Amino acid sequence: MRTQSLSLSNRSQFHRSTFVVAIVLSFLCFGNQANAQRKKKEKRFATVQGVIKNDSRKAFRVKYDEIKTSLRKIVVPKSPPFPSGWEKASEDERKEWLGKFYQSDRGKKFLKDQEKAINDAPAFDVKYNDDGDFVVYDVSPGDYGLQGRIDKDIDGITYGFEVFARIKVLDDVDQIKLQPIPVTITPLFKTGQPAPSVALKTSKGKDLNFDLKAYKDHYIFLNFMNSGDRTPGYQKQVQEMYKALGKSHKVKLISVVLDKDQTKAIKWLVKKKFTEGSYGFTKGWEDKIVDDYGVRSTPSGWLISKDADRKIMMTQHEFFRLTRVKDSITDIVRDRIDGKDTPTLATPPEEAKETEKESGKDVDDE
């Protein structure tokens, strides 16, 4: 009995201690879960460090702190609540539906919510030191756009000095060191200013420029393109414009193909049946004509005068705006040559900036 009693007593103590341990473990587990949930709810912030580098040309330099720059979280706009059968609807039917939707109370609320989401997105002012270095603290996870710009007049031409980068801040990162970000220098031409010269090679290696005898006394439509363009309808309109106005308005079409792989580009042109006009080829975006005209995305269209000294009759940014309000590229070019519209200044619209963002270079972590 003693032994039994002791045994019973020990068993009783064992049950009591087990119960206590169970209680302690339950508190510990609850505490760990609570900490995990608390950490999950806590926002994690990162420090973003980087440097911008200006163009090496001395005459084109600016002080880094003159480039007003911000780091803003990118908000991807939501799509409207399209009706069933949207994929099969015609372009006219889609335009009609969108027009009615945006005029409705539901559509107005949709646009207001979108605007609020964009305005409420985290944004930071970026300050550069004399060497172009910058640091931004307390950046929450997400995708960000770094963008800054200043315009300056140099020798009668306005140049835009811009910095742009896409930055991804991950959840488990405390510090991000960016690769050097270049300052992009873009000429912002106005109608009436001299057009930069054109020096290209055809697919057969022949020279292609404004001075060719066949181009004398002809207007030039300069069409920058590449096989990666997502706008085949645009190029089709360019072809139709040339066929409609080539003889009646003495227009010549020069298409500048920006593909690195010329063979691939030619196959693409043949496949799309883009055979009208003359084609000049570069070896990609790193080419003098691209910098001279300040082309940052394609397609890009320019109308050049028929004068011997070649003046710009329509800039890429003006042309971009007119494609939004006129029915066709044929109408745009015809009206300008016939003097039926008034040239506007070549200030890049917000839409053009968005296009440049899509084609901008992502900046990876080191």
The answer on pLDDT for 140 being more than 60 is yes
Task: Specify the pLDDT at position 233.
Answer: 87
Cα separations in angstroms, 184 against 5, 61, 159: 90, 11, 10
The 8 Å CB, 24+ separation contacts for 121-125 are 121/72, 121/73, 121/74, 121/75, 122/72, 122/73, 123/70, 123/71, 123/72, 123/73, 124/70, 124/71, 124/72, 125/69, 125/70
The answer on pLDDT for 38 being more than 90 is no
Task: Specify the pLDDT at position 77.
Answer: 87
CB 194 within 8 A of CB 311: yes
Structure tokens at 361: 């270079």
- Supply the pTM of this predicted model: 0.65
Return phi, psi of residue 349, to 5°. Answer: -75, 165
The answer on pLDDT for 252 being more than 70 is yes
| pLDDT greater at residue 302 or residue 14 | 302
Residue 135 CA to residue 177 CA, distance in Å, equals 9
Domains of the chain: 46-188 (2.60.40.1120), 200-345 (3.40.30.10)
Least confident of 48-62, 66-80, 323-337: 48-62
The answer on pLDDT for 354 being more than 70 is no
Residue 148 CA to residue 162 CA, distance in Å, equals 6
Average pLDDT, the chain: 83
Structure tokens at 184: 């992009």
The answer on pLDDT for 199 being more than 70 is yes
Question: Percentage of the chain with pLDDT > 90?
Answer: 63
| pLDDT greater at residue 165 or residue 343 | 165
| Confidence band, pLDDT 50/70/90 cuts, at residue 26 | very low
Q: Which SS3 state, helix, strand or coil, does residue 17 take?
A: helix
Cα separations in angstroms, 24 against 18, 19, 31: 10, 9, 10
Structure tokens at 306: 């028929």
